[in-house]
């Protein structure tokens, strides 16, 4: 369950659902990892990394990129209104992570151009557009890269 906070919060659960790590966010958009922590999370068999996004956005490119580059194959983002899930059983290289970042950036840019007129006309707020763009981008890149991605209403 998401804590009432303006900062991101993160927990890592082992395969049995036991909390093995908790980190407090340094801002509304970032958790501060110590050197090597991400690599350690990737080595926990069946681990799930769960963190909050107080602004209701789905996974960022950075969130998904961590999954690819560090082997953290189960992730969830909990927001005030949604739970987003990402998983994969594939192994990726650092080159894959770089290519993924390029694909993600291109997808977000394209979708942002699609919604810009609605923002300009006032039929959609910037916040609404950002939520939609992040979800649509993750849906598109997940299909392309073979990830399991979903969004559930809370």
Note whether 28 and 7 are within 8 A (CB). yes
Entry pTM: 0.87
pLDDT of residue 143: 95
pLDDT of residue 92: 86
pLDDT of residue 151: 94
pLDDT of residue 65: 84
pLDDT of residue 93: 84
Going from the C-alpha of 116 to that of each of 109, 121, 136, 140, the distances in angstroms are 10, 9, 15, 19
Which residues of the chain fall below pLDDT 70? Answer: 1-5, 28
Note whether 21 and 61 are within 8 A (CB). no
pLDDT of residue 30: 81
pLDDT of residue 2: 46
pLDDT of residue 122: 96
Q: What are phi and psi of 55, to 5 degrees?
A: -95, 5
């Amino acid at each position: 369950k998401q804590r009432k906070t303006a900062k991101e919060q993160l927990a890592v659960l082992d395969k049995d659902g036991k909390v093995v790590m908790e980190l407090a966010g340094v801002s509304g958009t970032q958790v501060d990892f110590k050197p090597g922590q991400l690599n350690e999370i990737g080595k926990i068999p069946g681990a799930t990394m769960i963190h909050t996004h107080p602004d209701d956005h789905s996974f960022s490119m950075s969130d998904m990129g961590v999954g690819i580059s560090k082997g953290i194959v189960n992730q969830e983002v909990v927001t005030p209104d949604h739970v987003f899930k990402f998983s994969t059983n594939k192994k990726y290289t650092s080159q894959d992570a770089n290519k993924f970042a390029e694909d993600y950036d291109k997808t977000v840019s394209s979708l942002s151009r699609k919604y810009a007129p609605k923002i300009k006309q006032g039929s959609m707020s910037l916040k609404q557009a950002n939520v939609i763009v992040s979800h649509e981008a993750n849906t598109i890149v997940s299909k392309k890269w073979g990830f399991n991605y979903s969004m559930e209403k809370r």
